[in-house]
A and B are shown apart, each in its own frame.
Chain A
Amino acid sequence: MKFSVTVTLKKDVLDPQGKVVKNTLQNLGMSNLKTIRQGKYFEIELDETDLSHAKKKVDDMCKKLLANLIIEDYKVNKIE
């Protein structure tokens, strides 16, 4: 079973990298840009057959290491 995890800074936390990327895209002429938040992406493959069990494991990984919950949010998706 394979999952994707996306970690991004929380809405209220300043994301200077996202801001610079947005400014640069605007400089390149990309208009109508509202916001850009930069994040991290993980693909995690598990040797599991039980979906809820697997999801719980990935959730645990996010909480314990992949995300710092003080400043970051995470989203988990099953991709395979």
Chain B
Amino acid sequence: MKSSVIVFPGSNCDRDIAVALEKMQFKNQMVWHKETKLPKSDLIVVPGGFSYGDYLRSGAIAGKSLIINEVIKAANEGCLILGICNGFQILTETGLLKGVLLRNKNLRFINKDVNLKVSCNNSKFTNKYKKDQILKINIAHNEGNFFTNKDHLKELNDEDLIAFKYCNENGEVDTESNPNGSIENIAGIFNSKKNILGMMPHPERMIDELISNKDGINLFSSLQN
């Protein structure tokens, strides 16, 4: 599979995701945000970081960058798009994913490993996970408090578009295990066609026992599946 990672000024997880993709046998290319053409890709990753220093709103400036028009075009043609952390924020700013990421409820930058529940394994991104499987994945963000309107929330639930939820070690989705105030503990969502996944946690950081665990690996092997 061919993948492209979009790089903005201020992206800082672009190398990590490239390492993960290469480890998982993707043929990866880095694409600078000023490019106006995308290489042929099966997967486009919008990586984490602080694109444009989070000026205006996190993801707002990157969401209007030159390359983003191409990403939107590719997304509408069915290309798989993965937005992680700041990438998720960027995808909501472009409108490719509905909803918005607000400031964490406790007003703090949170960097820790959290428990996640796989809410939906019926997708190109999550098919190698078991439904309700509990993962331990790192989060590192200041604006991860997902919020959306009632209609969209209903659509997310009715159409099985919630990919991951924050939970405790036993898989219970409760207020105590919600790190950032996200509505219904949502950590990651799909668009209605399920070719776009936006998530706050960092699966690319969980691909090697030496530095963390391997709970993120199956996301990449799902894509290869």
The CA-CA distance from A17 to B103 in the complex, in Å, is 9
B103 touching A71, Cβ below 8 Å: no
Write out the residue numbers on chain B whose beta carbons fall within 8 Å of the beta carbon of A71: 100, 102, 147
Tell whether B56 is near chain A: CB-to-CB under 8 Å.
yes
Alpha-carbon distance A35/B91, docked complex (angstroms): 32
Task: Tell me if A16 and B103 are in contact (CB < 8 A).
Answer: yes
Q: Which of A25-33, A43-51, A52-60, A62-70 contacts B (4 or more CB under 8 A)?
A: A62-70
Q: Bound state CA distance, A13 and B103, in angstroms? A: 11
Question: What is the bound-complex CA distance between A19 and B147, given in angstroms?
Answer: 18
Tell me whether B57 is interfacial, beta carbon within 8 Å: yes
Main secondary structure of the interface of B (DSSP, over half): loop
Q: B105: CB under 8 A from chain A?
A: yes
Interface residue B60 (Cβ < 8 Å from any Cβ of A):
yes
> Contact between B105 and A16 (Cβ–Cβ < 8 Å)?
yes
Name the distance in Å between B196's Cβ and chain A's nearest Cβ: 17
- Give A73 to B168 CA distance when docked, in angstroms: 36
**How near does chain B come to A63, taking the closest CB pair, in angstroms?**
12
Instruction: Report A-chain residues with C-beta under 8 Å of the C-beta of B99.
Output: 70
Let me know if A1 is at the binding interface, CB within 8 A: no
The interface residues of chain B lying within 8 Å CB-to-CB of A40 are: 56
Whether B2 sits at the interface, judged by CB under 8 Å, is no
Q: A20-B107, A71-B147 are in contact. Are A66 and B56 (CB under 8 A)?
A: yes
Query: A-contacting residues of B (Cβ < 8 Å)?
Result: 56-57, 60, 64, 93, 99-100, 102-103, 105-107, 147-149, 181
A residues at B contact (CB < 8 Å): 13-14, 16-17, 20, 40, 64-66, 68, 70-71
List of 10 A-B pairs having minimum Cβ-Cβ separation, nearest first: A70-B100, A16-B107, A71-B100, A16-B103, A68-B57, A65-B64, A68-B100, A16-B105, A20-B107, A65-B60
